[in-house]
Structure 1
């Protein structure tokens, strides 16, 4: 006979609950710039790696391509991200930040830093660093 599910034993539940909590903290700060946490992470990746194909971006973000395409639409609509055809293949689009996207990202970094500082003040700098390292081993 199966015993009842105990949420305190479920890794998925604990991770998703923590992710929602932390996302709310970051979005409280990033909202002042008009971005969600997910949008910020996309802009951050594009700031580091311009002219990236959607499949490479999806892999880097650990997202399904269709989910990423939906997430990119408001960024493109708002003029923060541009998609241009690759020279070698007109069917491949390369994504980059626009000038407006770069300016928005620069403002968002200040909001992100405030969120990062708030989290680390509550959780502890050393613990936060160890947590990131541990979590990156899951996706690395």
Structure 2
């Protein structure tokens, strides 16, 4: 008896058509490529943009705080910080309050790059919003609810 006898092709089609994980992954990859292409002239990726914009705040956050915000493990985040640090777009500094902890500070060069990147991001985002068949704010709220609830 073959595997196909036990699991008919109709099940494969059901998963392909119904699986939210698959549909979200495919959409996320397509959206990521869209933003990567838009931000390419600035020599940053959408992931680097997200990381830098997350540092644009009054007090420097810890690596752990940014890892949680971006839903990344600390090791992956640390690897993603290195190219931005080499480009002097951010600094990793020891936290004076807890010497074991590291803070992430955006530099003046990082802020200048973000100032150029935000209009590009907005235009790319407007394109995505126009492609949606529903209210983008409702979609974001649903996705946020899924992220918290799963």
TM-score of the two chains, using structure 2 as the length reference? 0.85
Deviation at residue 90 of structure 1 after TM alignment: 2.3
| SS of 2:72 mapped into structure 1 | coil
Residues in 1 aligned to 2:37 and 2:135: alpha-carbon distance in whole angstroms: 22
**RMSD of aligned Cα (Å):** 1.6
Secondary structure in 1 aligned to 2:30?
Answer: helix
1:43 CA drift (Å) = 0.9
Structure 2: unaligned runs, 5 residues or longer: 1-5
- Alpha carbons of structure 1 residues 97 and 24: separation in structure 2 relative to 1, 3 Å: same
Contact 1:42-1:61 within 8 A present in 2 as well = yes
Highest RCO, 1 vs 2 (Cα 8 Å, sep ≥ 6): 1
TM-score norm. by structure 1 comes to 0.91
Per-residue deviation, 1:36: 0.6
- Which consecutive unaligned segments of at least 5 residues does structure 1 have? none
Q: Per-residue deviation at 1:49?
A: 5.8
Deviation, 1:89, is 2.4
Partner of 1:136: 144
CA distance in 2 between partners of 1:21 and 1:49 (Å): 33
